[in-house]
Each structure stands twice: as structure tokens, then as C-alpha cells.
Structure 1
Amino acid sequence: MADYEDNDDESRLFLDAVKDARPLKPSRLDQHPLPTPKPKPVPRQLLRDERQALADSLSDGYIPAHELESGEELLYLRDGHSPDILSKLRRGHWVVQAAIDLHGLVSDEARMYVAEFLAHCKKRGIRCVRIIHGKGLSSRNREPVLKHKLRNWLMQKDEVIAYAQARPQEGGSGAVIVLLKA
């Protein structure tokens, strides 16, 4: 019972303390809430331009000044780099950090996919990648169309130091291992 009496005393004290108080006038903020912030604009044209620049960075008509090729095996080493890099790459010295598969893609799709993949790897600091291009068993004339195009595309990219045909357990003649700049 004593608890109820204490509450009554406290209520009376409170009411006595606020008897001369007047309610506040409503402020402008109460009447009109703040507008929600507008979302940041999406630079659609910039994104389209960057995508087109990626597509334009790889050409099917590129004819390399020189390349190392032994039969059907793909080998390439950019000028100014040690031949040891190529032998280490062929032996699997570097760990493959990322890979893509071009199976089922037409040439233009594959070119864009490779360009975007290499740009992504460059941003993430990835050094060694595998690109599976296929052996061409499903294509017309049973020849690897993307294999030869990929060779030219990779030579056009400054971030590519070297590439070599993958070892048999990594895809053999249907894949290439690429070493990128740090």
C-alpha cells in the first residue's frame, strides 16, 4: 500500500511543479518533415563509354610483330622480360588466382568477357589467371576459333607479361595461363 501512496505524492508534486507551464507552439519542422535525400545519379553514359573502351581495347584485326609459337602451343613473352618467366609459367610456378571459361560464347561476347576479366584482375592485384578457350571440337571445321583470337587479344593488353598453354591437368591445349603485371 505504501507504494501507491508514494506514487500519489510524486504525481501531486509533479502537477504542482508544472501548473504554470504553457504548451509550446508547433514548430515548422513538426508541420513539414525534412525531405528524404535524393539518390546519387548513376553515370550511365560514363559506364557505357567505359564498356565501349574495354571493347575497343581488344581488336580481332591485331597482327603481332612477333610471338613465340611452337606448333599449336601458345607462348608469348612481352619484350623486356626474362625468358625464365615463360619457363616458370609453363611449369606452373605461379598459383592460378582466377579463371574464366569462354565455352559457348561468340567472338564479341568472349572479347568483352576477357577485357572485363583482365580489368577486374588488374584492380584486385591478381597476377596469374587461367582462360579456358576450348579446343574447338564443337565449332565448325572442328577448329579452335577463340584460341587464335585470344592470342591476339592478350598481346594487345599492356598488363599481360606472358602467357603459355596450360598444363594437361589445367586444360591443356584448351586453356592458357596468363601472367599479369603487379
Structure 2
Amino acid sequence: MQDDEFSLFKDQMRGVKPIRHDRADTGKPKADKAKLQALRQAATVGNRTTTVDGLSDQFVIDVGPEDDLHWARDGVQESQMRKLKVGQIPFEGSLDLHGMTVEKARETLWAFLAEATRFEIRCVRVTHGKAVRLDGKRPMIKSHVNTWLRQHPQVLGFTSCQPRHGGAGAVYVMLKRTMLEGRDE
């Protein structure tokens, strides 16, 4: 009976390779703090000039992690901005900029707003995060998004989201529409 069990075991183990080391895999290695600091420094240093997209970093408006953002272009009705603030204008697209460099966030935001405009989308959500930083500095992506949205020609206004949609870590953005044929507003 034991020979049958051994042959069954051997049969089941066919193709299994034995482990060649005696150390446990403890997950990914610890981050190299010096390398991480160098990457962070490289992300903050960049060209502070106007790029072809028209979004300037020359005068970035610094905002705090918990600051609510609110801005409207001249001529936008305050009632529309109130509706936007309480989430009564549903967003039809969403973009998450977490973990991106400032330059990558700029390119991604520009392309996202261009596509939303092309599809005649009225409202989108942009998640920039709060980036509560240990070094006490202001959140970079949030501050840049706050500045860029004010410069974008298709943006009518923006305001921080309701807590269920990201709170102070995201904004609802109201966009211009070019009025497709047959649509009247």
C-alpha cells in the first residue's frame, strides 16, 4: 500500500522544481532614501517657462492640502457655480493625477480637457490629491492644477468636490461647450 502512495506522490510532483535557496522572500526591498530624495528633487526642478499648451508655471498659486478651491471665469453665473459645488452638475469624465510629475500632470490634464471638449462634456472631475508633505511644503500638483485650470480657455470654473468624490483632493471642472447642431442652451 505504501508503494502506491509513493508512486501517487511522485506522479503528482512531476515537473515541480525544488527550491534552491533557504531564505524567505520578504517582499520588495526597502527604498533607497538617497535615490528617492534625488528623484523628488528632480521632479520639483524643471523649466519654469510657458509650454506650447499655453499653461504657465511662472506664477503658481500655492494652496494648502485642505484648502477648498473655487474659481469662476467672468460672466459665469453664481447659481451655476453653487450647483457645481454641491454636485448637482454630474461629471461625465474623471482624471486622476496622483503620482505624476508636474510635467506629466500638465500633459495629461491638457489632453484630458481637449478630449472632454471634443465630446462636448459639460463637467469633469480632476483628482489632484492633497499631498500632505512631511517637509511642510505645499502640495505641488494641487497648486499647479489650481493655476492651470484658470488659464485653460475651455474652463468656465471649478470648485472642490463633495467628500464622496474626493473633497479637497479633487475638483469639479465646468467646461465650455461649442453647441452641437440641434442643441440649444
Cα deviation, residue 56, structure 1: 3.1
Match among 156, 166, 172 for residue 167 of structure 2: 172
TM-score computed with the length of structure 1 as normaliser: 0.63
Write the distance in 2 (CA, Å) between the matches of 1:63 and 1:134. Answer: 17
TM-score computed with the length of structure 2 as normaliser: 0.62
Write the distance in 1 (CA, Å) between the matches of 2:166 and 2:143. Answer: 16
Match among 52, 55, 58 for residue 58 of structure 1: 55
In structure 2, what residue type is equivalent to 1:61? Q
Contact kept in structure 1, 2:124 and 2:173, CA below 8 Å: yes
Cα deviation, residue 73, structure 1: 1.0
In structure 2, what residue type is equivalent to 1:56? D
Unaligned runs of 5+ in 2: 1-49, 178-185
Cα deviation, residue 74, structure 1: 0.4
- Asked if residue 92 in structure 1 is aligned to residue 87 in structure 2, the reply is yes
Contact kept in structure 2, 1:134 and 1:175, CA below 8 Å: yes
Instruction: Find the counterpart in structure 1 of residue 101 from structure 2.
Output: 106
What do you get for the CA RMSD once the two structures are aligned? 2.2
Cα deviation, residue 178, structure 1: 0.3
Question: How many residues are treated as equivalent by the alignment?
Answer: 124
Contact kept in structure 1, 2:156 and 2:175, CA below 8 Å: yes
Report the secondary structure of 1:111's partner residue: helix
- Asked if residue 156 in structure 1 is aligned to residue 181 in structure 2, the reply is no
Cα deviation, residue 80, structure 1: 1.2
Write the distance in 2 (CA, Å) between the matches of 1:140 and 1:122. Answer: 38
- Asked if residue 73 in structure 1 is aligned to residue 68 in structure 2, the reply is yes
After TM superposition, the structure 1 stretch with the greater mean CA deviation from structure 2, 168-177 or 53-62, is 53-62
In structure 2, what residue type is equivalent to 1:57? G
Contact kept in structure 2, 1:90 and 1:165, CA below 8 Å: yes
Cα deviation, residue 137, structure 1: 2.9
Report the secondary structure of 1:130's partner residue: strand
Match among 131, 134, 148 for residue 136 of structure 1: 131
In structure 2, what residue type is equivalent to 1:102? L
Report the secondary structure of 1:79's partner residue: coil
Over alpha carbons, which structure has the higher Rg?
1
Instruction: Find the counterpart in structure 1 of residue 118 from structure 2.
Output: 123
Unaligned runs of 5+ in 1: 1-52, 65-70
Identity %: 35
**Higher helix proportion:** 1
